[in-house]
Structure 1
Amino acid sequence: MPLNTSELTLIEQRVTNDGPSTPVAYLLWFFLGLLSAHRFYLGRPASAILQILSYFVLIGFFWLLLDLLLIPDMVRQKRDVMRQRLTTEMEGGQQLAFA
């Protein structure tokens, strides 16, 4: 059964409130980029660790600069996954738990 407008609004509100923020990701990149904090924040611990380890061969520094362009897409992907999970929960008749 498709979701009604109020359920979709609730999902979007939840994604907006609890999902990652692009400005926060950029601040983490700027201040804690060498620790790959932005990748940990966006739920990518494996690539964060790999990025930290790659600093020893200088590839990591180029990767860090490339992340400037990738952060908006990583935020969008994380929000899409969250939106899909919440939609599946609501379609299954579950109540959304607020964190």
Structure 2
Amino acid sequence: MTLSTEQLMLVEQRLSNEKKSIGIVYLLWLLFGALGIHRFYLGKTRSALGMLVLTILGGFTLAVSIGAFISIGAFFLIALAVWLLVDAFLIPGMIKADAQAKRLTIANEIHNMTSPKFF
């Protein structure tokens, strides 16, 4: 598929309107990271649900066994903290991958709209 210069400009214009903001993602990560909200925003629903479940299980099991020296909830929350730290470095790549997928989708849409139809 080859697009003209005008079509490529249209793709980039639409992409700039639709792509995710790195500032918003980092704000969501900072404020609601333990709930996986930044991953929901990026469309990574399964891993976002994983973070949410890890937070709920960690908080619940930590609260239930608060008298114990070490509880399973602490391990859940430590794993979540490591995951959040790793996410801080993965966010730019996730945004770039999302933008690339959108760029391809938009380019296909424009190509299909402008290509001649033979019946």
Please state if 1:26 is matched with 2:46: no
RMSD: 1.3
Please state if 1:16 is matched with 2:3: no
Distance 1:87 1:12 in 2: 9
Distance 1:66 1:53 in 2: 18
CA contact (8 A) 1:52 1:60 kept: no
Please state if 1:88 is matched with 2:119: no
Q: Deviations over 1:38-89 (max 9, x none)?
A: 1011011111011122232121121011110000000001111100111111
Q: Which amino acid aligns with 1:91?
A: H
Alignment identity in percent?
Answer: 37
Normalising by structure 1, report the TM-score.
0.87
Other structure's SS at 1:93 match? helix
Gaps of 5+ in 2: 59-75, 115-119
Please state if 1:76 is matched with 2:96: yes
Greater C-alpha Rg: 2
Deviation at 1:93, TM superposition (A): 2.0
Gaps of 5+ in 1: 95-99
Q: Which amino acid aligns with 2:88?
A: L
What is the aligned partner in structure 2 of residue 44 from structure 1? 44
Distance 1:28 1:10 in 2: 30
Runs of 4 or more off by more than 6 Å in structure 1? none
Normalising by structure 2, report the TM-score.
0.73
Distance 2:88 2:2 in 1: 37
Count of matched residue positions in the alignment of Structure 1 and Structure 2: 94
Distance 1:14 1:48 in 2: 27
Q: Which amino acid aligns with 1:72?
A: P
